[in-house]
Structure 1
Amino acid sequence: MLRQGFSFTTRQDYENCLVTLCENIRSEFSSDFTSLHLGETATLYDDKTIGLEGVARILWGLVPLWAGCGSSFMQQEILAGIKAGTKSSNPGGWGKLCNSHQAFVEMAPMALGLLLTPEKVWEPLSENEKSEFQAWLYQINDYSLPVNNWYFFRVLVNTALQSVGACNTEHKIEEDLQTIESFYLGDGWYSDGKTKQRDYYISFAIHFYSMIYVKFRKESDKVRCERFCTRAKEFAKDFIYWFSENGEAIPYGRSLTYRFAQCAFWCATVFAGVDTFPLGVVKGIINRHFRYWFSKPILDRSGGLTIGYGYPNLNMAEGYNSPGSPYWAFKSFLILALPESHPFWSTKEEPLPKLDSVKKLEHPMMLVSRQDKDNVVVLASGQYPGFDPVHSAEKYAKFAYSSRYGFHVPRSYYKLDQAAPDNMLAFCRDGVYFVRRQCKEVIVEETSIKSIWSPLDGIEVTTVLEICNKGHKRTHTITLDFPCEAVECGFGIPVDNYRDLTKDCQEAKAYIATEKDYSIIQLLAGNGLAGEFLAEPNTNILYPRTAIPYYKFSFEKGTYTICTYVEAGAALRPK
């Protein structure tokens, strides 16, 4: 059921959705239109920048809308904001920036406006206003940026300024593209900087911006653009495995509050004219993805996008998530730049092509299991963001991630229900739970992943994950320098009334079920006690109330081997 009433079948459906979402927040503009006040929560950056973020991020949708059908919806508000925000004498403007300023991020959709619709955001300005706008944008060349996908913001800004004849920074574009080139791993994959981070920033950032670059520079930078197109096609062959038959994508990594930006890569390839799969297949991925998200309670009572994932949830958010941050999802409205006459809109939506039931993804260090069409599961080891944003261990280092069941982030590490360590082996020492974070070594085979890791000094674990039947097997060899307790957890499943949960916890298994879902963890080797618990509310990113099955182990100093089988799925499973 679509909660918001959009069927996401026609171009008009997408336009209606975008316009509705923008109308719902239109009254929150400041009097000079330099800010959108969408909530009271804070970020690492200041309130002025939070307001700018709100204004800028809706441009990811408005600019394609203007380009695709000639609409001028909200153009006057945006123009007024640009004039006042970039006016150097305005104390309430966006002002002078500094190294790694968040405003550099928000320049990217403005650059798209200059590239795609200069008649809306550039040509109506006076010469003095153009000079002020140019000077404010040009600051991105005066300061250092994080060495990751941010370098593409500068590429886009400089490309846009050149496109309107404002300045020539070709040398800077080339330097930044060379830096981005150093992130390339092969087979269409990049890392987000010189890190082990290969998450959605590869799809909705690096490849997304590459496709915009291709759209506007394919003649002047032909060789590089051809390379970007080839890489997008290669990446698509792996990335399609992150999406289920029903439209949802694997929740993995940081910035999940951007929600339907998960399909922005596919929208950008169509925008750039890059054929990754048959157009009907790509259309199906996009349409089903939008339908999935708009069947979820992701809007507040006023119809604004909320911080969270499957529902409003500050617990899972990063420190850079402001009330306007979720509008980064508007990147996927890039398809609105396609006019009604584009084949995308008349092509029949198609299901996913036949995909391997088990797929090794070498560069993100993953194994994907698609043996249940309603639940895509990823086994993962080895990724980790270098700057360690909040809940990094939970977002990158769990053993398994599920499109159907999401994952949990802790409220604390002092009680099991508050730590909620689904799909983790958590060690308890002095009343505190410790989990896997970074791996010392990772080997990815065709059907298994081996990792060596240490949750804290004095404990080392070698873990082998293997896809098996409709679930997976975990074998841990644990060496401890001191006595310790540990808990191994399975998938959390949504539950309404915990008293109605079916529970069967015996020596050889911990099994829980509702009328719609089941989760089981079986002990194949080792000595442990089976159990289950109601997780602290709002720790799961998809469901506000969940239960988790587990095994508890008591170890003395020494070396132990334990082995479990873990599975979860729709409907009751025979016991």
Structure 2
Amino acid sequence: MRSDAMTSSPITGWTRETWAALADRMLLGVRPYASAGHARITLPGAAGGYGSDVDGLEGFARTFLLAGFRLAGEHGRDPERLPGLAEWYADGIAAGVDPSSPERWVRPEEHAQAKVEAASIALILDLTRPWIWDRLSSSVQERVVDYLGSVVGDSGYPRCNWVWFRIVVETFLRSVGGPWSASDIEDDLATHESFYREDGWYADGDERSFDHYVGWAMHLYPVLWSRMRGATGDSGGPGVLDLAASRQDVDRARLERFLQDYLRLVGADGSPLIQGRSLVYRFAAAAPLWLGAFAGVGKPGQLRRAASGIVAHFAENGAPDGRDLLTLGWHGEWRHLAQSYSGPSSPYWATKGMLGLALPAEHPVWTAAEEPLPVERADGVSVVHAPGWLLSGTKRDGTVRVINHGTDHAVEGAQVGDSPLYARLGYSTATAPLLSTRAWGNPVDQSVALLDVDGRATHRAGMHTLRIGVVGDGAQRAAVGASVARARWVSADHEQRDHGSGRPGETRDAAAITVVSILRGSWEVRCVRVDSLPDQPGAVSLAQRLRIGGWALADQISVQSVADEPPARPGARVRRASLESVISAGDGFDEAGVHTDDDASPLGTHSATPWVAGPVLPGQWRSVVVGLWGEPEPGDGSALQREPTIVLDSERAHIRIGWPDEQWTEVELPPAPVENVPGPETN
């Protein structure tokens, strides 16, 4: 490690030059796939769901983000490895907006995806104004305005992060004397505001959609937009409303609060939480960390350590690949991770995570020494109220776990299938939800489900959150979450377009399932009760078994099942290298096993999930212990492998837990949930 890296980057070894070299390789890597005039960059692979014309526009616009960051951070000077960078992209703009060019771009009124890409183009034209926009000929500028101006008054923007695409485009147009609408921007800002929940968290739309879009969209655009020339009162003439002034302090405070939670969601190995849609954007997850530096919130050294850790995690695991290209996948290529809107150029939204390069080398975020992540400092237990998450990070293995009692990419009472990306009970930085067709239809990993006579599992999306909080202080601190779901079987159409949501289909109700999670360290104690539905009391008789699944592990070679000898009670465990997943049942369970699935995880070809099962016993509380841990040193897991001691009193609805470190937690379980069971009428 170089001396400058030792001084400023003692944890990751990544300096600004490391970042710049990666960015330049990525920009050079796409050039062989550019059209003659540079307007389209169509990367290798099957065309995306929107066709090759959109793919080519995405390739230009999303790499233009990175080119713009490089130019801004160098004050307009060409990077040594990329002479003529501004001119290369300026040529592409001229060809893209020329209606007579064979490379012309799909227009926003022709295809909705062009509205997304138009925002990236407008954002970077504003950021690099002296070096690209100001040097375009007047005729090209007029064509750019004509291309972007078609969004004004367009009512076809979905109610989600898309509102920012129109805001950004019209704000740029305002700054160059083009058409824009104050009512459009005001309406879109009001829509954005309606998505705010609490503690710095937004939902990506009206549903309970909490994922990486909170950072790389719902926080990113307000911060960058406020710095656009068209967002300030000195643009557009005297007396024109300063669009951003009234929001800046609020947006900064919300970002600061969000980052407190977000930093706790990054694993020591740099992995972001593997949850939510558009995971092919990979290290775009670093974007909100750089926003902290732009907004002047957070500790610069810790922000950069987290961002460098995220990008390094992917760079060291095959992304970009040997061609310096980003493919559809997580580490390597794995097309099952893509949504139906993803094409071969889509992964380049990852360049948002390289936003820090827009800040010059002398900025404190680059000069401050790296500081450890929360998970590197100490074990921590906390909660995030908006998405209904319990968090536990363990220093010894650097793993962050999330137990989910409030996120499903749906609304309460929705009658859809579970999306593995959102509705599972657990997510982590070391595991991924299973995403095969089998997993979408028949949940096993991180599930509590009733099985019918054919072995089909129920779904839980649309659940009602009962409790999210912390009990105990200091060493006794534990997180507690609870939810109740109207469990039902769903016969979903697996051929529908996949935007990450649970899939609709014909449903058949089963019962109410209440789940309580007590999380501390590497362990979750999961309490479960099945009750008949008040409107369909006989439906529970259709359920043959109750099955509870633990953490799914995946590997390219194999995942080892580990047998307990002799088994003290039903339970199973699986191991991948030094990572271990275990589930152990209390009274009322009589069966255990390991569910295997191939080509179901972005982390490896072969996956294995431990599970336990037992008869359906309505009205009775039962408990299982679910564990996930890694061993940094061989044999250093003896304390972890001592399972918590459970004293469950079903009649009193009370549980007492003795943890492996001899601390104790007591929790009162919720009463019969009849009045809280969400149904279709709440949707």
Task: Answer yes or no: is the 8 Å Cα contact 2:208–2:408 preserved in 1.
Answer: yes
- Of 15, 21, 24, 1:16 maps to 21
Once structures 1 and 2 are overlaid, which stretch shifts more, 20-29 or 535-544?
535-544
Match of 2:570 among 483, 508, 521: 508
* Structure 1 residue 326 corresponds to structure 2 residue 352: no
Aligned to 1:563: 623
CA distance in 1, matches of 2:196, 2:93: 35
1:206-248 deviation line (CA, Å, top 9, x unaligned)? 1011110232346743221122111111212222221123322
What's the counterpart of residue 225 of structure 2? 213
Give the 3 Å change call, closer, same or farther, for CA 438–316 of structure 1 in structure 2: farther
Secondary structure in structure 1 of the residue aligned to 2:324: coil
2:519 to 450, 455, 467: 467
Are 1:452 and 2:484 matched, yes or no? yes
- Which residue of the other structure, out of 430, 438, 443, is the alignment partner of 1:404? 430
**Residue identity in the other structure for 1:321:** S
Q: Does 1:312 align with 2:323?
A: no
The AA in structure 1 aligned to 2:164 is F
Contact 1:8 1:290 (C-alpha < 8 Å) held by counterparts: no
Q: Distance in 1 between matches of 2:306 and 2:51?
A: 37
Structure-1 separation of matches of 2:13 and 2:599: 29
C-alpha displacement of 1:342: 1.8
Q: Work out the CA distance in 2 between the residues paired with 1:196 and 1:50.
A: 29
Aligned partner of 2:209 among 171, 187, 197: 197
Residues 70 and 358 in structure 2, CA contact (< 8 A), matched pair in contact too: yes
Query: Within 2, Cα distance between the matches of 1:570 and 1:499?
Result: 14
Other-structure match for 1:66: 71
Q: 1:391 to 1:408 in 2, by over 3 A?
A: farther
Distance 1:266-1:413 versus aligned 2 partners, 3 A rule: closer
CA distance in 2, matches of 1:304, 1:183: 34
Question: Does the residue aligned with 2:356 lie in a helix, a strand or coil?
Answer: helix
Contact 1:188 1:232 (8 Å CA) reproduced: yes
Select which of 138, 142, 162 maps to 2:174: 162
Task: Please state whether the residue corresponding to 2:622 is helix, strand or coil.
Answer: strand
1:250 partnered with 2:273: yes
1:421 alignment partner, SS class: coil
Cα deviation per residue 1:388-441 (whole Å; 9 max; x = unaligned)? 9x9962111111111112222123259xxx957211124433353433323144
The answer to whether structure 1 residue 369 and structure 2 residue 431 are counterparts is: no
Does residue 52 (structure 1) correspond to residue 57 (structure 2)? The answer is yes
Matched, 1:172 2:184: yes
Are the aligned partners of 2:153 and 2:181 in contact in 1 as well (CA < 8 Å)?
no
How many angstroms does 1:157 deviate by? 1.0
Q: Deviation digits for residues 343-367 of structure 1, max 9, x if unmatched? A: 2222111112557711011111101
User: Contact 1:502 / 1:514 at 8 angstroms: preserved in 2?
Assistant: no
Secondary structure (helix, strand or coil) at the match of 1:38 reads coil
2-structure distance, mates of 1:241, 1:471: 17
Residue 298 of structure 1 pairs with residue 319 of structure 2: yes
2:446 aligns with 423
One of 291, 296, 317 as aligned partner of 1:274: 296
Change in 2 beyond 3 A, CA 1:345/1:21: same
Unaligned runs of 5+ residues in structure 2 are 2-8, 234-241, 471-478, 490-508, 532-539, 642-683
Aligned residues: percent identity?
Answer: 26
Conservation of the 8 A alpha-carbon contact between 2:41 and 2:60: yes
The answer to whether the aligner puts 1:443 opposite 2:448 as a matched pair is: no
Q: TM-score, normalised by structure 1?
A: 0.91
Structure possessing the higher radius of gyration over alpha carbons: 2
Q: Report the aligned-residue RMSD.
A: 2.7
Q: Distance in 1 between matches of 2:352 and 2:247?
A: 23
Question: What SS class does the counterpart of residue 401 from structure 2 fall into?
Answer: strand
The DSSP-based 3-state class of the residue aligned with 1:458 is strand
User: TM-score if structure 2 supplies the norm length?
Assistant: 0.77
Cα distance in 1 for partners of 2:232, 2:604 equals 44
| Contact 1:508/1:522 (<8 A) preserved | yes
3-state SS of 2:135 partner: coil
| Greater CA drift, 427-436 or 116-125 | 427-436
SS of 1:120's equivalent? coil
Q: What corresponds to 1:104 in structure 2?
A: 115
**1:121 aligned to 2:154?**
no
How far apart, CA to CA, are the structure 1 residues paired with 2:556 and 2:101? 53
Matches within 5 A, 1:119-158: 119-143=130-154, 144-158=156-170
Q: Which amino acid aligns with 1:509?
A: G
C-alpha displacement of 1:52? 0.5
Whether the 8 Å CA contact 1:437–1:455 is kept in 2: the answer is no
Q: Which residue of 2 aligns with 1:549?
A: 610
- Partner Cα separation in structure 2 for residue 499 and residue 15 of structure 1: 37
Q: In the aligned structure 2, how far is the partner of 1:399 from the partner of 1:142?
A: 41
Q: Distance in 1 between matches of 2:380 and 2:253?
A: 25
The code of the aligned residue for 1:23 comes to L
The structure whose RCO (Cα within 8 Å, separation 6+) is larger is 1
Aligned residues: 563
1:485 to partner: Cα distance: 3.2
Whether the 8 Å CA contact 2:553–2:559 is kept in 1: the answer is: no
- Structure 1 letter corresponding to 2:149: Y
**Is 1:60–1:330's contact at 8 Å kept on the other side of the alignment?**
yes
How far apart, CA to CA, are the structure 1 residues paired with 2:515 and 2:429?
23
Residues 189, 411 of structure 1: alpha-carbon distance in 2 compared, 3 angstrom cutoff = same
**Alpha-carbon spacing, 1:437–1:311, altered in 2? closer, same or farther (3 Å):** farther
Which residue matches 2:473? none
Contact 1:399 1:465 survives alignment (8 Å): no
Secondary structure of 1:412 counterpart: helix
Shift of 1:129: 1.4
Are 2:328 and 2:344, in contact at CA under 8 Å, matched by a contact in 1?
A: yes
2:249 aligned with 1:226, yes or no? yes
Which blocks of at least 5 consecutive residues in structure 1 are unaligned?
Answer: none
Equivalent position SS for 1:118: coil
CA distance in 1, matches of 2:386, 2:480: 15
CA contact (8 A) 2:321 2:332 kept: no
Quickly say closer, same or farther: Cα 1:20–1:419, change in 2 above 3 A: farther
